[in-house]
Structure 1
Amino acid sequence: MIEKWLPELLIAFLVSLGGTYLLKNWFNKIKFQQLVIRNSEKGPDHQAKAGTPTMGGAGFILTITILFVIKQIFFGSMNPTSWAILLAILLYALVGGFDDSVKIFEKRDEGFRFLPKLFAEILAALVAFSLLLLGNFDFVLHLGFVNIQNVVIFGLFTIIWLVGWSNSVNFSDGLDGLATGLTVIAYGAYLIVALKQGNYDVVALNALVIGALLGFFVWNQNPAKIFMGDTGSLALGAGLAMNSLVLNIEWSLLIIGLVFMLETLSVMIQVGTYHFFKKRVFLMAPIHHAFEKGGWRMDPKHPWNEWQVDTLFWAVGLLAAILYLVIWL
């Protein structure tokens, strides 16, 4: 079965490795760089990251897209489920790319305004969902002991799922290599699921994603030479959500994407408690910054470096993915 995914992974790795190198140099030249980094007494000092090229997700997403299209033309079966995953990735990359561009060209920390961005994400989810209508996809939503087969309900769930998980991965993209490593693990889990189901087009796509991310990681590891930006993080989250949907294991993402979910919950808890009680539960949110600021003890006197935080979060993500594959697969 290794021949079903290893060639795609290796080719994507090599193309992404070289492509990201060229992209980071070009972005440095045209000043596509991180402009504003959180830097205050309340948070970790990331000022050294200022000026690092961003929007690196454009490189690995272009790699994935070109290689997948080539494979599908010559060797694929044109399965709509794999194309739905790719379309979700591309559409959310466009939303993230616009967001990154606003930050760069308008020189502000916040990009796309909340409501327009939410509308764009909903529209992207609808378009990606519509591709499933072209195939013989069974629109069955698995809710524990009850399965609901209804196109409208499945479509509404798809919107919620893609918008939610794309932003969850985006929350996790705050340290060098963190989101890259976590998404490699998650896509690896879905590659195994697709392999077991015999959906080899999805296997190939996920292998391309993993390979491209590993090539990108060489330049994104601490100290990062390039960031993926919202272009990459929103796209990767949408791809994971669509994976869980087309493989008919929607709730698997609650386990496989455990770290992403915890990151999101930490933000929700922090915002909620501060809004209503003017108190903060965590030193910072998302929670990876809390560990960066105070380590296990949550004590600012004992901060962690980025490698320590990354290693902990990658380990949790890997254990969660293995747990799902061993127990529920």
Structure 2
Amino acid sequence: MIEKWLPEVLIAFLVSVGGTYLLKNWFNKIKIQQLVIRNSAKGPDHQAKAGTPTMGGAGFIVTIFLLFALKQIVFGVMNPTSWAIVLSILLYALVGGFDDSVKIFEKRDEGFRFLPKLIAEIVAALIAFSLLLWGNFDFILHLGFMNIQNVVFFGLFTVIWLVGWSNSVNFSDGLDGLATGLSILAYGAYLVVALKQGNYDVVALNALVIGALLGFFVWNQNPAKIFMGDTGSLALGAGLAMNSLVLNIEWSLLLIGLVFMLETLSVMIQVGVYHFIQKRVFLMAPIHHAFEKGGWRMDPKYPWNEWKVDTLFWIVAALMAALYLLIWL
């Protein structure tokens, strides 16, 4: 079965590693660079990363789209469900790209305002969902004790799922290579599921995503030469969410994407508790910064470097993906 995915991984890797190299040099030249970096008074000292090119997600997104489209054209295949995944990735990359652009060119730390960004993400989810209407899709939401087959209900769930998980991956993109490695593991799990189901369009797509991310990781690993930005992180989260829907295993993402979920929960808990009692539960949020600042002990006297935090989170993600595959496949 290796021939079903390895060529796509290798081709996407080669295109991405070369394309990202050219992109980072071009972005350096035209000043598409990280502007606002957390200072040491508030948390881990990331001042050295100021000026690093960002929006690098544009490179691997284009790689994925062009190679997948080329494969579909060559083999005369046009599967709406697999294209729903591609479209969700593209649309959320556009939302993220606009967010990154606002931060860079208008020098606004927060980027896209909350409400307009949320509306854009909802619209993007609805457009991606519309492709499922063109395919032979059952629109069954599995609730364990019962199944609900309803297009409107499934559409509402799709919006919540894509918006939620796109932002979860976005929260995880705070250390060199962290979100890239986590995404490779998650897409790898869905590649295995698609293989098991015989859904070779989704196999090919996920293989292209993995190869493109591996190529990007060459330049994104610590010390990063380029960041993916919201352009990449929002797109990767939306693609994972749509993967789980297309493969009819929506709840699998709660385990396969457990680290992403914990990152989001840490932010929600931190903000919620501080709002009511002005106390911080974690040293910092998202939680990867808490580990960076205080390690296992959550003590600023014992900080961790980025590789140590990355490795811990990747191990947890790999174990959760393996657990899902072992138990439910």
Q: Same fold (TM over 0.5)?
A: yes
Q: Distance in 1 between matches of 2:44 and 2:4?
A: 43
Shift of 1:76: 5.3
| Moved segments of 4+, more than 2 Å | none
Tell me: CA distance 1:237–1:76, structure 2 relative to 1, closer, same or farther (3 Å).
farther
Map of 1:213 onto structure 2: 213
3-state SS in 2 of match to 1:141:
strand
Q: Distance in 1 between matches of 2:299 and 2:53?
A: 32
Letter in 2 for 1:57: G
CA offset digits 1:52-74 (Å, max 9, x no partner) = 00000000000000000000011
Q: Distance in 1 between matches of 2:57 and 2:277?
A: 38
2:27 is the alignment partner of 1:9:
no
Map of 2:302 onto structure 1: 302
Letter in 2 for 1:194: A
Taking the TM superposition and a 5 Å limit, the aligned residue runs for 1:144-223 are 144-223=144-223
CA offset digits 1:34-83 (Å, max 9, x no partner) = 00111142200100000000000000000000000000011253111110
Map of 1:129 onto structure 2: 129
Shift of 1:6: 0.4
Taking the TM superposition and a 5 Å limit, the aligned residue runs for 1:221-236 are 221-236=221-236
Contact 1:283 1:290 in 2 (8 A): yes
Taking the TM superposition and a 5 Å limit, the aligned residue runs for 1:42-61 are 42-61=42-61
Q: Distance in 2 between matches of 1:263 and 1:95?
A: 21
Calculate the aligned-residue CA RMSD, in Å. Answer: 0.6
Letter in 2 for 1:326: L
State the TM-score, normalizing by the size of structure 1.
0.99
Q: Distance in 2 between matches of 1:205 and 1:165?
A: 19
Tell me: CA distance 1:70–1:7, structure 2 relative to 1, closer, same or farther (3 Å).
same
Q: Distance in 1 between matches of 2:80 and 2:200?
A: 12
Map of 1:273 onto structure 2: 273
CA offset digits 1:191-216 (Å, max 9, x no partner) = 00000000000000000000000000
Contact 1:95 1:120 in 2 (8 A): yes
Letter in 1 for 2:111: G
Map of 1:256 onto structure 2: 256
CA offset digits 1:246-269 (Å, max 9, x no partner) = 000000000000000000000000
Map of 1:110 onto structure 2: 110
Q: Distance in 2 between matches of 1:291 and 1:92?
A: 29
Q: Distance in 2 between matches of 1:185 and 1:13?
A: 15
Letter in 1 for 2:27: F
Q: Distance in 1 between matches of 2:85 and 2:236?
A: 10
Q: Distance in 1 between matches of 2:158 and 2:230?
A: 20
3-state SS in 1 of match to 2:99:
helix
3-state SS in 2 of match to 1:255:
helix
Map of 2:86 onto structure 1: 86
Contact 2:13 2:215 in 1 (8 A): yes
Letter in 2 for 1:282: F
Q: Distance in 2 between matches of 1:154 and 1:297?
A: 43
Tell me: CA distance 1:260–1:76, structure 2 relative to 1, closer, same or farther (3 Å).
farther
Contact 1:35 1:108 in 2 (8 A): no
Give the share of equivalent positions with the same residue, in percent: 89
Contact 2:40 2:46 in 1 (8 A): no
Shift of 1:108: 1.9
The runs of 5 or more residues in structure 1 that have no matched partner are none
2:141 is the alignment partner of 1:141:
yes
3-state SS in 2 of match to 1:148:
strand
Contact 2:57 2:227 in 1 (8 A): yes
Contact 1:53 1:227 in 2 (8 A): yes
Letter in 2 for 1:304: W
Q: Distance in 2 between matches of 1:219 and 1:248?
A: 34
3-state SS in 2 of match to 1:133:
helix
Q: Distance in 2 between matches of 1:24 and 1:253?
A: 32
Q: Distance in 1 between matches of 2:65 and 2:250?
A: 24
3-state SS in 2 of match to 1:298:
coil
Contact 2:185 2:321 in 1 (8 A): yes
CA offset digits 1:78-103 (Å, max 9, x no partner) = 11111000000000000000000000
Letter in 2 for 1:223: P
Q: Distance in 1 between matches of 2:210 and 2:177?
A: 14
Number of residue equivalences = 329
